[in-house]
Amino acid sequence: MKNLIVGIALLVSLLNIQTTQAQSTALDFDMTDCKGNRQHLYGLLDSGYTVLLEYVMIPNCAPCITAGKGLKSVLESFQQSNPGKVKLIQIGYSDFYECTNLLNWQSTNGFPYPIREKGSAEVEYYGGMGMPTIVVAGPKDRAVYYVKQGYSPSENAKITTAINNSISGVSSINEWKVLQIKLYPNPASESLTLFNLPESATLRIMDISGKTLLEKEVLSGDVQLDISAFAKGMYIVSLDLKSGKHLQQPVIFN
């Protein structure tokens, strides 16, 4: 029993190390992908692209396949709302994967995106082993707007928010905490309250494609919103503060 407790403590410690090692600036790569095209991350970011990275284990990582399909849906929504601004690159996490196997995996699962080898150093940089590892990197300061090991469809709203933040040039996804603004409850059903708004703002509720469903001017303080007419699902609450700050946060209505 003592050995089991020590083992669990060590595992928790390692997981905490992986979490704290995740970076806020994207790690550059400049490599030829499996179809012979150059993929230079900083070159893409400096050209104004937001880049979505999926590090995958092949061939039988079910979450990697589910993530690929979910990210495909997210990317397609941005191809309509912000054409030519978002790119997805898939990367084999192991340095032992060969392009033949990676391309076969893509073909089997219907993924048409650039894919390349040798992602192990990048996976370690972004926080350690966890498949898939998903990263959203944006052009402003080559910043990381989202990084997570593992995937479930509920992450799509957070990934969408991260991409919107990148496109909008939002400098920090933690600004809500810095300003001590809170949304409660989340998930919400009949009403949603915005607490501690420091100044007047334009408030929007958008679907995960970025389409505005509600827009209103609000004053500082606490703001209560009637959401009873909204269908169940994931949405994004967006704030354009009078001072110029732009904030977004995913929320679930149930």
Residues 226, 152, single domain; the answer is: no
Share of the chain above pLDDT 70, in %: 89
- Within-domain flag for 16: no
Residues 116, 197, single domain; the answer is: no
Residues 214, 155, single domain; the answer is: no
Local confidence band at 174 (pLDDT 50, 70, 90 cut-offs): low
Residues 222, 240, single domain; the answer is: yes
Q: What is the pLDDT of residues 124-134, one digit of tens each?
A: 999 877 899 99
Point out the domain boundary residue: 117, 146, 168: 168
Burial class of 47 by CB neighbour count within 10 A (0 to 12, 13 to 18, 19+): exposed
Domain count, the chain: 2
- Within-domain flag for 5: no
| Domain containing residue 238 | 175-253
Residues 188, 74, single domain; the answer is: no
- Within-domain flag for 3: no
Task: Give the list of residues 6+ apart from residue 159 with CB closer than 8 angstroms, or none.
Answer: 52, 71, 74, 134, 136, 146
Query: Whole-model pTM above 0.95?
Result: no
